[in-house]
């Protein structure tokens, strides 16, 4: 069964929370797909992961970089799993039909945006109705 974690971001923006979550997940041995809502967001996250901390390095790439199967963290807009990931991170309110392909799914949403919170509640209900284990952060 897939564990669905809902990350209600109120004090930290995505740009601060995502790199920390990726660091922990990689340390736990996960391969990860990060699914974003637009190509522009993928480019923004790609730049962020190169610059968020001078003392850290997060191995990652996009389809544009080639060899997506070799990327420990793959940033994409597509509902795919070309790098045999065990964790899926959803941002920008995107939905995946492939949640069952992962051990963990993390849905990160802006808790300061009421429409994002309402949409996250709908995704929570859908995951619950599908019988997934739910965790709220």
* Cβ atoms of 2 and 104 closer than 8 Å: yes
pLDDT per residue as tens digits for the range 63-80:
889 889 999 999 999 999
Q: From CA 24, how far away is CA 30, in angstroms rounded? A: 9
Q: From CA 84, how far away is CA 102, in angstroms rounded? A: 9
Q: Output the pTM of the full model.
A: 0.94
pLDDT per residue as tens digits for the range 18-59:
999 999 999 999 999 999 999 999 999 999 999 988 888 899
């Amino acid at each position: 069964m897939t564990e669905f974690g809902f990350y209600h971001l109120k004090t930290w923006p995505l740009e601060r929370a995502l790199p920390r979550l990726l660091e922990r997940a990689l340390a736990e041995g996960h391969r990860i797909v990060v699914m974003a809502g637009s190509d522009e967001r993928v480019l923004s996250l790609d730049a962020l992961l190169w610059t968020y901390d001078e003392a850290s390095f997060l191995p990652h790439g996009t389809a544009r970089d080639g060899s997506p199967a070799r990327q420990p963290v793959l940033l994409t807009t597509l509902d795919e799993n070309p790098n045999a990931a065990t964790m899926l991170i959803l941002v920008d309110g995107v939905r995946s039909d492939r949640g069952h392909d992962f051990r963990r799914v993390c849905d990160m949403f802006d808790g300061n945006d009421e429409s994002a919170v309402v949409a996250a509640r709908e995704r929570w209900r859908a995951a619950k109705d599908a019988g997934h284990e739910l965790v709220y952060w």
